C-alpha cells in the first residue's frame, strides 16, 4: 500500500501498473500532475501478514491541488501471487 501511495505521489505509473492485478488493471493510467499527495494514514488492516495470500488495507490519503485541500478514503483489497502483493480493487468511502 505504501509503495502504491508513493508511486501516485511521484507519478510512477509503471510501478502502479506493475503492482495492479492483471484481472482488474486498466490498460493505461494518467496521473494529474497538479494533484499533490501530502500524507498517507493507514486506518485499518485485515490479514495481509507474512503467511496470508489476501489482505485488506483501509487508508486515508490527503491531497492538495492549488488552494484546494482534501482527502480520499478507500478500503483496498490485495492478493499475493508469486510472493508479490497486487492491488485488486477498492471501495472509496
In our burial notation (b when 16+ CB lie closer than 10 A, e otherwise), range 31-42 reads eeeeeebeebee
Grid cell locating 61: 490519503
How many residues in the chain? Answer: 93
Q: For 40-75, write each residue's pLDDT tens digit.
A: 999 999 999 999 999 999 999 999 999 999 999 999
Q: What is the pLDDT confidence band of residue 1, given thresholds at 50, 70 and 90?
A: confident
pLDDT computed for residue 36 by the predictor:
97
Comparing CA positions, the residue from 72, 81, 86, 84 lying closest to residue 21 is 86
CB neighbours of residue 5 within 10 Å:
15
Domains observed in the chain: 2-92 (3.10.450.50)
3-class secondary structure, 16 = helix
Q: Write down the pLDDT at residue 68.
A: 98
Q: What's the rounded mean pLDDT across residues 83-91?
A: 97
Amino acid at each position: 500500500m505504501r509503495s502504491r501511495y508513493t508511486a501516485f505521489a511521484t507519478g510512477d505509473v509503471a510501478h502502479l501498473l506493475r503492482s495492479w492485478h492483471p484481472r482488474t488493471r486498466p490498460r493505461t493510467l494518467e496521473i494529474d500532475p497538479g494533484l499533490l499527495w501530502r500524507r498517507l494514514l493507514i486506518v485499518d488492516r485485515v490479514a495481509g501478514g507474512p503467511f496470508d495470500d489476501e489482505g485488506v488495507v483501509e487508508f486515508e490519503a490527503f491531497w492538495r491541488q492549488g488552494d484546494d485541500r482534501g482527502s480520499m478514503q478507500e478500503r483496498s483489497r490485495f492478493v499475493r501471487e508469486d510472493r508479490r502483493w497486487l492491488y485488486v480493487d477498492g471501495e472509496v468511502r
